[in-house]
Amino acid sequence: MALKYKLILASGSPRRVDLLNQAGIEPSRLMPMDIDETPKKSEHPRSLARRLSAEKAEAALAAIKGDITWKGSYILSADTVVAVGRRILGKAEFADEALSSLHLLSGRNHLVYTGICLVTPDRKIRQKIVETKVRFKRLSGFEIENYLASGQWRGKAGAYGIQGLAGTFVQKMVGSYTNVVGLPLYETILLLTGEGFDVHSRWPEG
């Protein structure tokens, strides 16, 4: 079946690709956007997720301007922010950053916000913010040490990925699991179908 519209994912995240694949969607193109993700002074985590997802989508739109190949495509972007209160935990690049985040998350609740931004073929912009509350068990020094040794914290907001070893740290969760992975599927599909993207025709036949 010929598909009318293409979907550009303004991300290079394998986790987001896997989640879209789970919903039967194969992005036509991956366009990770290199933008400054530094929070503004006193910026709320929710506002940061909204702003960065919009900036990624707008950057992708600018990048394909004038390219007839991608005219009329949908552009989907997302940004996930982990926060304890208003304190934003960035993507850990070094072990000491990961250690600090894990100590902060140990035995307490935190919030995960994902901003989704969709640019439609007629260039309307639609956004949605999804919030999930996660509680970590109290982590022992041994658990933290072994998790750091695994390297699974690298490049992850809050120094963890729930789909990996850190899933064993989660004592309780209220809200969307896929949101914590990096792309809330229910809300993403709702956004796409609401703007005319035919998700179900892309499902494989048995």
The set of catalytic residues is 79
3-class SS of residue 133: strand
End-to-end CA distance of the chain: 15
Report residue 163 as tokens: 């789909």
Closest CA to 7 of 33, 29, 23, 32: 29
CA atoms lying within 13 Å on the CB side of residue 130: 24
The whole-angstrom separation of Cα 76 and Cα 120 is 9
